Each structure stands twice: as C-alpha cells, then as structure tokens.
Amino acid sequence: MENLSLQYIVREPNQINEQTNLLILLHGYGSNEEDLFSFATELPENLIIVSARAPRTLGFGSYSWYTINVDNSGGKFSDDEEAIESRDKISIFISEVQERYGKTPEQTFLLGFSQGCILSLSVALSYPEKIQKVIGLSGYANFDILPDNYNNPLYKNLDFFISHGTVDQVLPVDWARQTHEFLTQIEVKHSYQEYPVGHGVAPQNFFAFKKWIEERM
C-alpha cells in the first residue's frame, strides 16, 4: 500500500469484496501499532484491519497521540492542542484508508484504547460524516476536544461500544460513567459495559466487542 499520513500496519483478507468492512485501531499512550494488532487473529476474517502509529515519539517503540504533562503538585493534564491536532490527523487518515479500499463510513469501525479511545470519541463526534461505529476501551470523553455543540443531525447514525475496568487506576471508572451519561443526554446510541479489571481489556470485554462488531458487519 502507498504511504499514508500516519505510519501503520495492515491485515488484509484473502479476498476483499463488497461485504468487507474496515477496522482502524488507535493504541494508547506509550504503546505502538503492534499492541492492539494482536486482536487481529481473533477478529472476523472479512475485515481489513489497519493499526495506526501515533505521531509523537516517547522512546524506542513508544509513541503518544498527545503529551501528558505533570504539574508541581504531581497532577496530570493533557495537552489539548496536541490532542486536537491528532484528532484532525486521524480524521484525514481515516479518509485516506477509506479511499484506498473503497470503503464508506457505514463500512468503517474505529477502535481505540485509552488515549486512542479518547480520540476515537472525539473524532466521531467531530466528524460524524466520516465514522459512525466506534469501540472505545478504557477511555472517556474529553470535552475540551469535542465540538462546541451537539446538535449535528448525523449523530443519529453514531453507534458506540464503550467499556471500562471498575478498578482502573490510570483513568477512573467515574470518567467513563460520566461519558455514558453524556452520550445518553445527547441521544447517541451506545452500549456501556464495565468489567472487574484495571487499565486493560478483559477476555469477556474482548468477546463482547467482537460480537458487537460481527452484528454490525
């Protein structure tokens, strides 16, 4: 495949046809494109799976979509300007991949973990004409990188699977619960699940979102 605006790895089905769907993966802070790609062998064969690498290098094999800063009291906060920049880069990347494979927004899934989840939600709510089906794992809605209003008529086409660990010590489960309440308020269709794990994906969680994908292919 020709170079696109983000580095990536891809798994293509043996045969790509009109029924083939597209799944784009966004890893978390400090990880890389290989991380979520480990899901690929267990997901439906008739999926083109593209795993993107975040643009900011933290160290060898370690990347981020935006910087996490620490203040004098030890508190952490996100660089929202960098996050918005990455949100828009991801939107462009989605369009490039869709064009490359001839796939529509209706045939496209976006799956993000942690920082990748935060951006996946922001991309969908900012660009609902490009992406409709989102799997958001162990993240939350960062309102500082969302649109100013939530009246977009295309929101009626959105469909989210949101999940979080109840003992997550990196991103508190309360943030995910607030996201669930927010999506309910703006009437975005979504499934919300919690699992008794930390900042990770439990086997039950994997099989739940795998089924969710299969039902929408």
Q: CATH 3.30.450.20: does it fit domain 8-216?
A: no
How deeply is 72 buried, as exposed, middle or buried, from its count of CB atoms within 10 A (0-12, 13-18, 19+)? exposed
Closest by Cα among 122, 99, 156, 116 to 29:
116
Q: Judge whether residue 74 has pLDDT over 60.
A: no
Q: What is the pLDDT of residue 60?
A: 86
Q: What is the pLDDT of residue 2?
A: 58
- Supply the angle between the helices 80-101 and 115-126 in degrees, to the nearest 10: 70
Q: What is the pLDDT of residue 76?
A: 62
Q: Judge whether residue 175 has pLDDT over 70.
A: yes
Q: Judge whether residue 15 has pLDDT over 70.
A: yes
Q: What is the pLDDT of residues 114-158, one digit of tens each?
A: 999 999 999 999 999 999 999 999 999 999 999 988 989 999 999
Neighbours of 102 (CB within 10 A): 11
Q: What is the pLDDT of residue 91?
A: 97
Q: What is the pLDDT of residue 71?
A: 53
Q: What is the pLDDT of residue 83?
A: 95
User: H-type helices in the chain, by residue range?
Assistant: 34-37, 80-101, 115-126, 173-185, 203-216
Do the strands 189-195 and 108-113 form a parallel or antiparallel pair, or are they unpaired? unpaired
Supply the pTM of this predicted model.
Answer: 0.94
Q: What single-letter DSSP state applies at residue 8? A: E
Q: Judge whether residue 70 has pLDDT over 60.
A: no
Q: What does the alpha-carbon distance between residue 124 and residue 50 come to, in Å, rounded to a whole number?
A: 17
